[in-house]
Chains A and B, each alone.
Chain A
């Protein structure tokens, strides 16, 4: 008996719609986040993460409605990341049914925001998202979708964010994101070893063995992937079967 390693499909949404279409079968409207969420729930996803790339304030309101609709039908944990800059944004997302809120750029520009959010709502709902790139012998934090360097050491940053109250770290390798070459396992291991809280590995998954490696070699508590699931290359159920065959405890 132990807590299962989690598999988390990640969806990009804008103005309440899924972008970068999901192509697995049995969904009439691949842009409908509720239908997509339901589909992943049926496949056995352990959680869902929505990355909100909405640019406008008006669009944020549709995000709240979207979260509320999904949380009304899909009874697994939902994380919403992107765009949150104020305690009020977090409260709105939680009130509409999000279980956790991801904070990324806002944590870098104002680390106290993480502390304020964790004090107010509890560490269990504060996920600090870290986008890291290898620079020489170590990794640095990048913001704004990996475009903006900060000069901050990623391992030290993760430890600081946990001190500030982050309950989980969503770690994305910007070097691997979109490559299909697998997670940056050295980065994942370095951060997992540095913090007590769970680390979600992200960026680079191209096949199911990569998910196994993220857990066994990277030390991740959870693995996040987008394209391998969205394009129907693999189902969440297949991913779990592969992980179970490798001796990893998963929820079947």
Chain B
């Protein structure tokens, strides 16, 4: 079985790849830098760091937007951090950026007013999540901590795709599940045992 890590010039590919190798010793973990290599993959992981606009542009420029849309018709994909944000309709970064619009919702900046509660932006560190009952969260205790680092987030916590939430000032979307798509705002590859468990669950997931 092959899991492709999408390489479009953004993201910590090394850590994601190594974490997947640990989580799935039987899996062949490959860096995928062109859409035609996707066909051979059984799973795909879409990492992302930095700015949402740059990530969306990178995904589109490399032709992965349509290729991944086809891929997820039949096979599971996992987005990580900005790789999750890029799937939303739009973001308010630098005046407004269009997302891939796979999930209906907006990505907004943490309001600076949360500083009055002593909270910092970026939201950086190990925060607790509340997750729904789902095979992807098998072995994850309620309130488990994962490593986050981001300044933008979605507060559409009532949307049907929301699978986990966390609180920084107010409650925000920490993970989504929609069809064959799973995505996390936090970094499983930096979240020690809990993160490896999540990657393992993703590799074993049959939606």
Minimum Cβ distance to chain B for residue A164 (Å): 15
Q: Name the distance in Å between B128's Cβ and chain A's nearest Cβ.
A: 5
Q: Does B56 contact A (CB under 8 A)?
A: no
Q: Which of B49-66 contact A (CB under 8 A)?
A: 49-51
Q: How many residues of B contact A (CB 8 A)?
A: 40
Given A2-B128, A75-B192, 17 other A-B contacts at CB below 8 A?
Answer: A1-B130, A3-B123, A3-B126, A3-B127, A4-B127, A71-B14, A72-B18, A75-B18, A77-B147, A94-B12, A95-B14, A122-B49, A124-B151, A196-B112, A219-B118, A251-B126, A251-B145
Report the interface size class on chain A: 20 to 34
By a CB distance below 8 angstroms, the chain A residues around B202 are none
What are 26 A-B interface contacts by the 8 Å CB criterion? A1-B127, A2-B128, A2-B168, A3-B125, A3-B127, A3-B148, A41-B192, A46-B126, A71-B15, A75-B190, A75-B191, A77-B147, A77-B149, A95-B14, A97-B14, A97-B15, A99-B12, A99-B149, A99-B190, A122-B49, A167-B124, A167-B149, A196-B120, A196-B121, A197-B121, A221-B120
What is the 8 Å Cβ interface bit string for chain B, positions 138-163, against chain A (1 contact, 0 not)? 00000101011111000000000000
Q: Is A6 an interface residue (CB 8 A)?
A: yes
Q: Are B126 and A123 in contact, CB atoms less than 8 angstroms apart?
A: no
**Interchain CB contact under 8 A, B19 and A75:** yes
B124, B151, B191: most-surrounded residue (chain A CB, <10 A):
B124
B binding-site residues for A, Cβ under 8 Å: 12-15, 18-19, 22, 49-51, 112, 115, 118-128, 130, 143, 145, 147-151, 166-168, 189-192, 195-196
A1 → B minimal CB distance (Å): 5
Q: How far is the CA of A41 from the CA of B112 in the complex (A)?
A: 33
Is the CB of A15 closer than 8 A to any CB of chain B?
no
A96 is an interface residue with CB less than 8 A from chain B: yes
A63-75 vs B, CB cutoff 8 Å, 1 = contact: the mask equals 0000010011101
Q: Which residues of A contact B130 (CB under 8 A)?
A: 1
Most buried by B among A41, A77, A168: A77
In the complex, the chain A residue whose C-beta lies closest to that of B189 is A75
Q: Whole-angstrom distance from the CB of B202 to the nearest CB of chain A? A: 15
Let me know if B49 and A124 touch, CB within 8 A: yes
- Are the CB atoms of B125 and A221 closer together than 8 Å? yes
CB contacts (< 8 Å) of B14 on chain A: these are 68, 71-72, 95-97
Q: Does A222 contact B (CB under 8 A)?
A: yes
Report Cα–Cα, A72/B189, bound state, in Å: 10
Q: Among residues 71 to 122 in chain A, which have CB atoms less than 8 Å away from a CB atom of chain B?
A: 71-73, 75-77, 94-97, 99, 121-122
